[in-house]
């Protein structure tokens, strides 16, 4: 895994960041960024994430950028992703969540909060023809197909569990199996496959 580099105004690591990544380092945003690193950008209250991401990209920073927002918001997240961020999460997220974010982004994926993910998936689904078919469903069980369609509509695990009268734990297991069978990195890519925008492997 790439090294974790945190950019903050004071150039210091917060305790949760250090817990998630004991070998992480921190620096101020103006300092040069070098090496194979995932760059975490702290956005303080009142600041716009997109502005900071755009400034880093204009400086020629090519490393993956993850926004850590003290006051996260869906519109701010969407703007940051449009500006070139690979992830957006709450700066106070638990170490386990930060570790998941690093894994997803480090593997070329995109990390966004559940609310924005649902908004993106619902928007994508509304623009596409219903249930295009490329054979992806053949590899899944009937229950997995039901879960995949619900995820593609933007449903959360809790909503899928309620809709299908199963536990959230079971939904999580189905989602993991679906992602593996279809070769999808994340829920967004799964939605694109189900909606016919992208082919499964």
Strand 3-7 and strand 65-69: the pairing is unpaired
16-43 as b/e: b if 16+ CB within 10 A: bbbebbeebebeebeeebeeebbbbbbb
User: Considering the entire predicted model, what is its pTM?
Assistant: 0.64
Q: What is the DSSP string of the chain?
A: -PEEEEE-TT----HHHHHH-TT-EEE-TTS---SSEEEEEEE-TT--HHHHHHHHHHTT--S-EEEEESS--HHHHHHHHHHT-SEEEETT--HHHHHHHHHHHHTT--B--HHHHHHHHHHHHHHS-SS--SSGGGGS-HHHHHHHHHHHTT--HHHHHHHHT--HHHHHHHHHHHHHHHT-SSHHHHHHHHTTSS---
Q: What is the pLDDT of residue 123?
A: 67
Backbone φ and ψ for 154, nearest 5 degrees, come out as 100, 10
Q: What is the pLDDT of residue 132?
A: 46
User: pLDDT tens digits, the chain, 201 residues: what are they?
Assistant: 689 999 999 999 999 999 999 999 999 998 988 888 999 999 988 889 999 999 999 999 999 999 999 998 888 888 898 899 999 999 999 999 999 999 989 888 888 877 777 777 666 555 554 544 457 888 899 999 999 999 888 888 899 999 999 999 999 999 999 999 998 888 888 888 887 765 555
Q: What is the pLDDT of residue 1?
A: 61
Give Rg (Cα) of the chain: 18
At CA 54, angle to CA 52 and CA 59, rounded to 5?
Answer: 95
Q: What is the pLDDT of residue 126?
A: 59
- Which value, to the nearest 10 degrees, does the dihedral of the CA atoms of residues 97, 100, 101, 102 take? 120
Beta bridge partners of 5: 25, 39
Backbone φ and ψ for 146, nearest 5 degrees, come out as -60, -45
Backbone φ and ψ for 111, nearest 5 degrees, come out as -115, 120
Q: What is the pLDDT of residue 175?
A: 92
Residue 110 near residue 80 (C-beta atoms within 8 A): no
Q: Domains in the chain, start-ordered, CATH in brackets?
A: 3-112 (3.40.50.2300), 117-194 (1.10.10.10)
């Amino acid at each position: 895994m790439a090294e974790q580099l945190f950019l903050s105004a004071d150039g210091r690591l917060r305790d949760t960041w250090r817990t998630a990544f004991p070998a992480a380092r921190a620096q101020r945003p103006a300092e040069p960024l070098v090496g194979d690193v995932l760059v975490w950008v702290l956005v303080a209250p009142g600041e716009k994430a997109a502005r900071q991401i755009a400034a880093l990209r204009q400086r020629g920073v090519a490393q993956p950028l993850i926004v850590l927002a003290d006051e996260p918001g869906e519109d701010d997240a969407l703007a940051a992703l449009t500006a070139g961020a690979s992830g957006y999460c709450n700066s106070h997220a638990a170490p386990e969540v930060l570790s998941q974010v690093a894994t997803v982004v480090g593997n070329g994926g995109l990390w966004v909060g559940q609310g924005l993910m649902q908004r993106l998936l619902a928007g994508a689904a509304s623009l596409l023809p219903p249930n295009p078919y490329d054979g992806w469903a053949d590899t899944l069980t009937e229950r997995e197909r039901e879960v995949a369609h619900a995820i593609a509509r933007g449903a959360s695990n809790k909503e899928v569990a309620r809709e299908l009268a199963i536990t959230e734990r079971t939904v999580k297991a189905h989602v993991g199996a679906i992602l593996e069978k279809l070769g999808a990195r994340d829920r967004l890519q799964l939605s694109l496959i189900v909606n016919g925008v992208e082919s499964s492997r």
